[in-house]
Structure 1
Amino acid sequence: MSHYLPPVAYLPHDAPMLLLDDVVCVTDSGAHCRVAVNRDGVLAPFLDAQGNLPGWFALELMAQTVGVWSGWHRQRRGQQSIALGMVLGARELVCAVGHLPGGVTLDINVSLLMQDERFGSFDCAIRIDEETAATGRVNTFQPTAEELNSLFNQGNKG
């Protein structure tokens, strides 16, 4: 039994956009989450006719695992509010087979490469058992509350 809370406790997402089932481990330097690819799970709305998850979902799975890492650390520092982070981009993102197959459990691992107050870079991998299914480097940005307010209120200006 994991001593971690469910992913929703660390992420600013709700169904159907919460794409992780479990938090396996979080350390100073990384995080490990899992999700099952099946018609009964959180990924069900996004599966193709064959029950596979399109490969481009790999980026969001990696980004949400980075979000779990960040949210867990915020809670440890006593910051109870969940912060919205942004993906600046991904480098060398590769999904080996073009999709993530149905009927398997995906292990998503992220490892911190560098971080300052607002930017982070993570090496990421998605594995099925011992096989690597997807890899990439995800670069993230933590906007301030003022920046988020400005971004989300752009359409409200007359």
Structure 2
Amino acid sequence: MKSEFNVDELVPHSGRMSLLSEITGYGEDWLSAAVDITPASMFADEQGVPSWVGLEYMAQAIGAWAGLQERKQGRTPRLGFLLGTRKYSVPVAWFLPGERIHVKVTRNMQAENGLCAFDCELQGRDYEVTASLNIYQPEDADVFLRDAK
């Protein structure tokens, strides 16, 4: 099912820091999105976008999934924090201009305290990458950040 919301309504990033191009589908425990690599893409240079940015594509897709859950309950999307990843290895150094990256995230585990684990996939021109991301989404990010000082 395609989302009735656009990326800007789901991910609490603004301007060039919002990296997803569109939400392409979702279900109860998953979301798929696309990223179009252009010369204007955040982090792009003459070679394209460094492949390490794929972690942020995955994290923002998770943010979009979480934002969709909030929107379906009539609430505003909340901030989340990437805690870590396992097994992120990309066989290319750059995502190339003109390339469309497909991202899929699937919730693996969600605890009541805001900790979540997601299985993630990136598909590009001739490769597929998988990784696991651990996320923390506090009830109130402002309080969390203030208390973390």
Do they fold alike, i.e. is TM over 0.5? yes
* Distance (Å, rounded) in 2 between the aligned partners of 1:141 and 1:49: 34
Q: Quick one: structure 1 residues 22 and 121, their matched pair in 2 at CA, closer, same or farther if it must change by over 3 Å?
A: same
Instruction: List runs of 5+ in structure 1 lacking aligned partners.
Output: none
Matched, 1:57 2:53: yes
**What does residue range 49-88 of structure 1 map to in structure 2 within 5 Å?**
49-50=46-47, 52-78=48-74, 80-88=75-83
CA contact (8 A) 2:39 2:45 kept: no
Q: Report the CA distance between 1:153 and its aligned residue.
A: 7.2
* Distance (Å, rounded) in 1 between the aligned partners of 2:111 and 2:18: 26
Select the structure that is richer in strand: 1
* Distance (Å, rounded) in 1 between the aligned partners of 2:46 and 2:73: 44
Match of 2:101 among 95, 103, 106: 106
CA contact (8 A) 1:90 1:138 kept: yes
Which residue of structure 2 aligns with residue 33 of structure 1?
A: 33
Q: Quick one: structure 1 residues 152 and 55, their matched pair in 2 at CA, closer, same or farther if it must change by over 3 Å?
A: farther
CA contact (8 A) 2:37 2:98 kept: yes
- What is the RMSD computed on CA atoms of the aligned residues? 1.9
Higher Cα Rg, which structure: 1
Instruction: List runs of 5+ in structure 2 lacking aligned partners.
Output: none
Which residue of structure 2 aligns with residue 92 of structure 1?
A: 87
How many pairs are equivalent?
147
**DSSP-derived class of the 1:94 partner:** coil
Amino acid of the residue matched to residue 123 of structure 2?
R
Structure 1-normalised TM-score? Answer: 0.84
